[in-house]
Amino acid sequence: METENNTVVTEFILVGLTQSQSIQLLVFVLVLIFYLIILPGNFLIILTIRSDPGLTAPLYFFLGNLAFLDASYSFIVAPRMLADFFSEKKVISYKGCITQLFFLHFLGAGEGFLLVVMAFDRYIAICRPLYYSTVMNPRACHVLLLAPWIGGFVHSIIQVALILRLPFCGPNRLDNFLCDVPQVIKLACTDTFVVELLMVFNSGLLTLLCLLGLLVSYAVILCRVRGSSSEGKSKAMSTCTTHIIVIFLMFGPGIFIYSRPFRALPADKVVSFCHTVIFPLLNPVIYTLRNQEIKASVRKLFYQHLA
């Protein structure tokens, strides 16, 4: 069977988030504000965790890496989208499109797997506290951190490998502001039913299973702390609530986008915008606002630089 890729398309035209000039201006201002305020905040979280000797627990080690992943993820789409607001013709090369798609799924899946690791860390800390220092030793933490990067790479390389085998010989208009699997597949000059099913299993089913597994794990944690002291119960509830908020922000849009056959819906662009631009910048901030230790360390670091 012939499997050669007969691609002749050398670039894709991005339709963009909206055709309305006023809405484009509003989105540009909002994204720019998010970038100028929240992105430096993410790097401040990383700096605070690395510089404060009191924040050496595995929770903060993983939180610092989550902030790094989110900051890296936000660079994939938002800067180009901001630049495209000033371009009449929004064009991305075929290789650029594949590169953007690879890093989108590499870092996105890596972040999802990291949230699973963080749920495991909380389970051991709350449900098996006597074994915590033994199980979550520095070597184990580094191994657990490596797993999301490997998992994200494998997930993403499968996506890219399937798309690279598709021929693109005609239409090249992507009805979105970025290159992602659902829109790119629809432009292929062949029947993509089997590829779409494989993509749904590789992205949609994986995302759904991760979400269900995380929700079950936090339900077990909450049930376990019901009989604990009021102080311990309050801290566990606060930690779990924060994690659950981030989980829904991360996995909710992913399930909407990837867990159904790739047909266009009116909400697709808005969900993609929130999933790739807004939520990645907010996740570490949500963690920080509900973590007294990090807030105290940030204030301490701030006053040290003022002195």
**pLDDT of 2 strictly over 50:** no
Instruction: Categorize the per-residue pLDDT at 7 as very low, low, confident or very high, splitting at 50, 70 and 90.
Output: low
pLDDT in tens, 104-156: 999 999 999 998 998 899 889 888 888 999 999 999 999 999 999 999 999 99
Residue 164 CA to chain centroid, in angstroms? 23
3-state secondary structure of 91: strand
Adjacent-strand bridge partners of 11: 93
Instruction: Categorize the per-residue pLDDT at 231 as very low, low, confident or very high, splitting at 50, 70 and 90.
Output: low
pTM above 0.85, yes or no: yes
Ranking 144-158, 169-183, 252-266, 285-299 by mean pLDDT, the lowest is 285-299
Instruction: Categorize the per-residue pLDDT at 228 as very low, low, confident or very high, splitting at 50, 70 and 90.
Output: low
Any idea which residue has 């819906």 for tokens? 265
- Max distance between CA atoms of the chain, in angstroms, equals 71
Ranking 20-29, 162-171, 197-206, 283-292 by mean pLDDT, the lowest is 283-292
Adjacent-strand bridge partners of 93: 11
Inter-helix orientation angle 230-258/94-127, to 10°: 160
State the alpha helices, DSSP H only, in 2-57: 21-51
Cα(250)–Cα(275) distance, integer angstroms: 7
Percent of the chain surpassing pLDDT 70 = 91
**pLDDT of 38 strictly over 80:** no
pLDDT confidence of residue 229: 61
Cα(7)–Cα(189) distance, integer angstroms: 9
pLDDT in tens, 235-274: 677 777 777 888 888 888 888 888 876 677 778 888 888 8
